[in-house]
Structures are given as structure tokens and as C-alpha cells.
Amino acid sequence: MIQTLHILNGQSMYDHFKQSGFLNGETMIPFNEAMCFGDATEEIFSVEFNNKRAEVHHVNLQQYTDITLKPLELLLSKQYKNLELWFDTDMFCQINILTILALLDQYNHEGAITLHIVDDNFAPIEKYTLFANGYASLYNQVLINKIMPAEITPPLLKRGVELYFSYLNPEGNLQEYIHNHPYKSEKELVRNLLENFREYGLGDTQYLELIRQLRNE
């Protein structure tokens, strides 16, 4: 049983913390998912969920297991006493936070959860104490039913969900930008989106799929 399990948003943060010695001696695992991208199912990390997410990421189930599930074994097997989450402010990270809190709610996790918000250089800037109860319902509203909940806390998560719905909106600012630059190459347009829409936290893969989807309509 691990005393404190630290869940980090992705491999880049995990590698940075390892190399810098931050949280030295602590148990850290990366959350290698992009939950703002593609469809999901209600029961997080169920067989149905894993198959659907593998399809979203264009990998087979074994690859999804190796990339996403194996690093989460301590979380999924509940081998911890305390949990601390380390995530950025952007939409990408906030939707991942919502998913983890919903998973913990599905597990009936009752203990306090510490959420650390970090800046672009992974330095801590804010800290919240949260409880998982209620987040499974929020997850279902947002990621399954695509409905904006009446209330969401903390405020950063609410902002992340608002950006998520903007990202899904056919007339959102990302889609408008792509439509307004029909003659730019995919490479140049991806670079522009990465530079101009940092609050979404999307990567080149997500932007490339969005560009191709809109240009093929």
C-alpha cells in the first residue's frame, strides 16, 4: 500500500518531475489520456471504455493497455492511502481531472484529494482540497451527454468545461479560425493553433484531426 500516490498529467510532466528531482522519493504515475478528445463510456476503464478509447486513439487494445492502463495500475488497484493530482490550467488537463475525480467517485473514494495546479513550467501555483462525491454525475453530464452542468467546482474546472464545449461547437473559435484560413497548409495551421489557442492545451495530433475533419465536410 502506497502512503501517497501522485497522479501527473501525462508523460511529459512525469519525465520533468523525474529529471528535476521534484517529489523525489514519492510515488508518481502519469495519466496518459486525452479525455477531451473523442467519445467515452460511463464506466471509466471498463472493457467497453478501454475498447472505445483505443479506437479513438487509433491504437489496438494492447497498445492502449501499455500506454494508458499499465502506468495507472496503483490507482486502478486502489493501492494507496492518499491521492495528490498535478495538472495544468488548460482544458485538456481539466477534462482529465474531471475523469479522474469521476473514477474515484465510481470507486466510492471518501478521502480528501489534493489538487495541485501548475504553470507552463510545471511549477505549482494553486492548491485545492476536493472530495470525489458528485463528480461521476458531472462526468456523465459533460463527457457522455454533452450537457453543461449548473454548478462545477473548482472554478478552473468550470472554465475547462466551458472551453470543452467551445471546442465541440461547430461554430466555436477553433473551427472559425480553421475555416478562415483555407489556404494555409496543415503544418502551418497546426503551428498557428498551438500558438494562438494555448488555453485549450491540445496537441498537434488533435489539431490535425480537427483540421482534416472540417476540411473534409
Per-residue pLDDT for 1 more than 90?
no
- Domain stop point among 119, 154, 189: 154
Residue 159 included in any domain: no
Q: What is the mean pLDDT of residues 157-161?
A: 97
Q: Are residues 176 and 92 in the same domain?
A: no
Q: Are 140 and 101 in contact, with CB atoms under 8 Å apart?
A: no
Residue 55 included in any domain: yes
Q: Are residues 147 and 56 in the same domain?
A: yes
Q: Are residues 21 and 114 in the same domain?
A: yes
Q: Are residues 19 and 61 in the same domain?
A: yes
Q: Are residues 176 and 150 in the same domain?
A: no
* Average pLDDT, rounded, for the chain: 95
Look at residue 217 in the predicted model and tell me its pLDDT.
66
Q: Are residues 173 and 125 in the same domain?
A: no
Q: Are residues 69 and 120 in the same domain?
A: yes
Domain span at residue 29 reads: 2-154
Q: Would you tell me how many other CB atoms lie within 10 Å of the CB of residue 217? A: 7
Residues 6+ apart with CB under 8 A from 148: 141, 142, 161, 162, 165
Higher pLDDT, 84 or 205: 84
Q: Are residues 104 and 130 in the same domain?
A: yes
Residues 6+ apart with CB under 8 A from 107: 78, 132
SS3 call for 188: helix
Which pLDDT tens digit goes with each residue over 6-50?
999 999 999 999 999 999 999 999 999 999 999 999 999 999 999
Q: How many domains does the chain have?
A: 2
- Domain stop point among 104, 128, 154: 154
Q: Measure the CA–CA gap between 116 and 106, rounded to whole angstroms.
A: 22
Assessment of whether the complete model's pTM goes beyond 0.85: yes
Q: Are 135 and 107 in contact, with CB atoms under 8 Å apart?
A: no
Q: Are 108 and 78 in contact, with CB atoms under 8 Å apart?
A: no
DSSP-based helix, strand, coil % in the chain, nearest 5: 50, 15, 35
Name 130's bridge partners.
113
Q: Which amino acid is at 25?
A: G
DSSP code at position 107? T
Residue 162 included in any domain: no
Q: Where are the alpha helices (DSSP H) in 10-90?
A: 11-20, 47-56, 61-64, 73-76
